[in-house]
Structure 1
Amino acid sequence: MKTVLITGTSSGYGLETARFFHAQGWNVVATMRKPDHDLFPRSDRLRVLPLDVTDPASIAAAVEAAGPLDVLVNNAGVGSAGAFEATPMAHVRRIFETNTFGVMAMTQAVIPQMRERGAGVIVNVTSSATLAPMPLVAPYTASKQAIEGFSGSLAHELAAVGLRVRLVEPGLGPTTRFAANTDISVMDLVPEAYAGFAGQVFAAYGQQTLTTKESDVAETVWQAVNDTSDRLRYAAGADAVALAGVA
């Protein structure tokens, strides 16, 4: 029976992906900063572990407790929206600590055990913003674009030791909440000079039909894990698929 560790499973795509893999009969290690066991069914095949991907000690403890892994899904992430001019660099660094360095640290932590067995899959969840960058999310987009480049390069070197790397690029869904999981308000990042433009952009975002469902992402991660080809990118959701077709 195979085992998957998924980061950021307290809500949204991570939560649905954990539930989906469990329904397929896998052992699931669902991780989040503050464990909530009530999100999942009681099962001998599902464990909920604390994990902060920005904390090396937390990463080491979670990976050790998880045991042998067949798949790592790097899903944990934070969003941010606002004018870059008004975004403190400390806030930019916090975004990168989770979205970029957290992914790298988790990946580095599991490679040795996978390499020793000569098998394993690492799935990095990014965003359709990497396919068509949008305004007012520059630091977030940059943090996800960094993982796109990281994954493309890493895929080559890990293929040499029998491992696969995948990118899943979700579109915009109902659970996409920019800055909802950060310590700074969106409006704090919109100076008066950008107010008119930002109002138009946010209004347009609000009028969009959100076509990416949580199940789309879970099923795409499943597809990516089970595809034995050398494919790297998998768009998830109708809007992401459409963007990928013209990218």
Structure 2
Amino acid sequence: MSKVVLITGASSGIGKSIATYLHTKNYKVYGTSRNPSTVEVPFSMVALDVTKTETIQQAIATIIRQEGKIDVVVNNAGKGITGPIEDTPTDEMRSNFETNFFGVIEVIKAVLPQMRQQQSGLIINTTSIAGYMGLPFRGIYSASKGALELVTEALSMEVKSFGIKVVNVAPGDFATNIAAGRFHTPVYEHSAYKKTYAENLALMDAHVDSGRNPMVMAKAVCQIIESNQPKIHYKVGAFMEKFSIVLKRILPDKVYEKLLMNHYKL
């Protein structure tokens, strides 16, 4: 039987690429979207909003009723946020964590009983290379993804005895529509960060526009699924994006901070 794969946030971007690629590899794919009726894709779609627990439970119950199992969950749904910490509304910070962190945990909680019953399962959490370092004007996004990295490590140990594997995959910049869906703190006229934030906002969008093809992520996720002994941490991105994580481990804090500040012209 084909493996049954649930992918959150599959209506566009990386999630859609992963779902489409796995569909071509004969996996039984269920993508999710808040409004699946508006999405045209070759795989099955179910309604799910990671910030609404009842929709998560309904979606997973539907898949189990139709397939009798869920082999893989790819927690891909997420959203970006930019802005100086001082200028960013705290409610928007909480909203970002509700999607990028707590929403993922709710999906995991809903699927674990079925995977325990099966004595098998794979959970793949999509984090970010930004989650390995605090990036200026992306601090909240970095924090939400960094928190998910650590929870993945803890959960991996908690569920291993049930035959369940938990990993994360951290993408770098990919050419998607994530910039359009971000919450951008406005560049306030009287902000102390007006000039530097405006410059970095343009730089962030340029990085996404020149990013890699999201199909690279799709193929990486497929390799993780097909691995008998997957690692806990995966990074998928350009050489310098991945090397930046290595530099953070080996360089003194102040030296690494200076490198980042020079890169972001601060």
Relative to the length of structure 1, the TM-score reads 0.90
Q: Flag the 1:23–1:246 CA change in 2: closer, same or farther, 3 A.
A: farther
Structure 1 residue aligned with 2:172: 171
Instruction: Indicate the residue corresponding to 1:76 in structure 2.
Output: 77
Q: In the alignment, which residue of structure 1 is the partner of 2:236?
A: 236
1:212–1:236 CA contact under 8 A, matched in 2: no
The equivalent residue for 1:65 is 62
The 5-angstrom pairing of residues 10-21 of structure 1 reads: 10-21=11-22
Task: Summarize the Cα distance change of 1:160–1:36 in structure 2 as closer, same or farther, 3 Å threshold.
Answer: same
Deviation at 1:207, TM superposition (A): 5.0
Change in Cα spacing, 1:9 to 1:110, as seen in structure 2 (3 Å) is same
Does the Cα contact within 8 Å between 1:114 and 1:163 map onto a contact in 2? yes
Q: CA deviation at 1:131?
A: 2.6
Q: Distance in 2 between matches of 1:80 and 1:156?
A: 30
Instruction: Give 1:152's aligned residue.
Output: 153
Percentage of matched positions with identical amino acids: 33
- Matched letter for residue 62 of structure 1: A
Q: What SS class does the counterpart of residue 231 from structure 1 fall into? A: coil
Amino acid at match of 1:210: S
The Cα shift of 1:158 comes to 1.2
Instruction: Map 1:194-209; keep pairs closer than 5 Å.
Output: 194-206=193-205, 208=207
Q: Aligned to 2:45, what secondary structure does the other structure show?
A: strand
Partner SS state of residue 181, structure 2: coil
Distance 1:152 1:191, change over 3 A: farther
- CA distance in 2 between counterparts of 1:165 and 1:75 reads 14
Q: Alpha-carbon deviation of 1:205?
A: 3.2
Shift of 1:121: 0.1
How far residue 243 of structure 1 moved from its aligned partner, in angstroms, is: 3.3
Q: Deviations over 1:214-241 (max 9, x none)?
A: 0111111112222222511111122543
8 Å contact from structure 1 (residues 86, 191) kept in 2: no
Moved more, 203-212 or 219-228: 203-212
1:5 to partner: Cα distance: 0.3
Report the alpha carbon displacement of residue 96 of structure 1 after superposing the two structures with TM: 0.7
Q: Which residue of 1 aligns with 2:192?
A: 193
- Larger radius of gyration between Structure 1 and Structure 2: 2
Who is 2:217 aligned against?
A: 217
Q: In the aligned structure 2, how far is the partner of 1:22 from the partner of 1:164?
A: 22
Task: Please say if residues 168 and 236 of structure 1, whose CA atoms lie closer than 8 Å, have aligned partners that are also in contact.
Answer: yes
| Counterpart residue type for residue 195 of structure 1 | K
- Structure 2 counterpart of 1:111: 112
TM-score, length-normalised on structure 2?
0.84
Are 1:54 and 1:98, in contact at CA under 8 Å, matched by a contact in 2?
A: yes
Report the alpha carbon displacement of residue 181 of structure 1 after superposing the two structures with TM.
2.6
Q: How far 1:245 moved relative to its partner?
A: 4.4
Larger displacement relative to structure 2 (236-245 or 123-132): 236-245
Structure 1 counterpart of 2:47, from 41, 47, 50: 50
Contact 1:213 1:237 in 2 (8 A): no
Distance 2:77 2:86 in 1: 26
Check 1:59–1:191 CA distance in 2 against 1; reply closer, same or farther (3 A cut).
farther
The answer (yes or no) to whether the contact 2:14–2:217 under 8 Å persists in 1 is: yes
- Residues in 2 aligned to 1:2 and 1:37: alpha-carbon distance in whole angstroms: 26
5+ long unaligned stretches in structure 2: 249-266
Q: Which runs of 5+ in 1 are unaligned?
A: none
DSSP 3-state at the match of 2:36: coil
Seen in structure 2, the aligned counterparts of structure 1 residues 76 and 191 have a Cα distance that, compared at 3 Å, is farther
Q: How many residues align?
A: 241
Does the 8 Å contact 1:87/1:189 carry over to 2? no
How many Å separate the matches in 1 of 2:217 and 2:133? Answer: 18
**AA partner of residue 201 (structure 1):** N
Deviation at 1:56, TM superposition (A): 1.1
| Partner Cα distance (1:91, 1:190) in 2 | 20
